[in-house]
Chains A and B, each alone.
Chain A
């Protein structure tokens, strides 16, 4: 069965500093990896995805993620955090057979001025 682990319940970072939100996964076959963000009382918004190709994927709002096959990781990064980036972030995976998307438990990002 496929699974996603987000080891940090919360990440705190000062505005202007780089941020990393960690994600590791387990899946049979080639992974399709996604990051979503959730603001209070709103649905999930797509940030970026990795399917194939370059290991560094660029997405919305200046976010990027690095796929590392040997470490089965897909960490979300941003060079300079904004207070408005404060939200709940979810990593998700599915296999290349198109089976269901499995989400991690989420990481709350707090960016302080």
Chain B
């Protein structure tokens, strides 16, 4: 079974630029999550999708972050404009059902200079 795929693996941008990350969950997994993991900290949930609907985006900084999951499969997370404090690893995870065991992708390491 293929795992959660993410791209790119690494990205370096300057502050105020825009960036987008892509996630392809495990086939058949209805629930998709985006996490932000700042160096030295545990992952923090940004947004949770159930199929193509948003379940929880209470910790998503909506003035600059946006996410979508068209057709209930792949998802993109966008930051516009980026700030220095957005430097982190962005993890995508999926699970068969909400609240089930989550399977994580390798993450995208973002550096904002």
Contact present for B102 and A105 (CB under 8 Å): no
Contact residues in A for B104 (Cβ distance below 8 Å): 36, 43-45
Contact residues in A for B45 (Cβ distance below 8 Å): 100-102
A100 contacts which of B40, B41, B48, B106 (Cβ < 8 Å)? B48
Contact present for B106 and A43 (CB under 8 Å): yes
Contact present for A106 and B41 (CB under 8 Å): yes
Is B61 at the interface (CB under 8 A from chain A)?
no
Interface string of B78-113 (1 = CB under 8 A from A): 000000000000010100001101111111000000
A-B contact count (CB 8 A): 47
Contact present for B99 and A44 (CB under 8 Å): no
Contact residues in B for A46 (Cβ distance below 8 Å): 101-103
Q: Chain B binding site: helix, strand, loop or mixed by DSSP?
A: loop
Contact present for A103 and B44 (CB under 8 Å): yes
Distance of A106 Cα from B50 Cα, bound (Å)? 27
* Distance (whole angstroms) from the CB of A96 to the closest CB of chain B: 8
* Distance (whole angstroms) from the CB of B12 to the closest CB of chain A: 16
Contact residues in B for A36 (Cβ distance below 8 Å): 104
Contact present for A32 and B4 (CB under 8 Å): no
**Closest chain B residue, CB of each to CB of A45:** B104
**Closest chain B residue, CB of each to CB of A51:** B99
**Closest chain A residue, CB of each to CB of B42:** A103
Contact residues in A for B91 (Cβ distance below 8 Å): 43-44
Contact present for A105 and B41 (CB under 8 Å): yes
Is B43 at the interface (CB under 8 A from chain A)?
yes
Distance of A25 Cα from B101 Cα, bound (Å)? 18
* Distance (whole angstroms) from the CB of A27 to the closest CB of chain B: 13
Contact residues in A for B4 (Cβ distance below 8 Å): 43
Contact present for A41 and B99 (CB under 8 Å): no
Is B14 at the interface (CB under 8 A from chain A)?
no
Contact residues in B for A49 (Cβ distance below 8 Å): 101
Among all A-B residue pairs, the 10 with the closest Cβ atoms: A103-B42, A43-B104, A98-B99, A44-B104, A100-B45, A43-B106, A105-B42, A103-B43, A43-B105, A98-B98
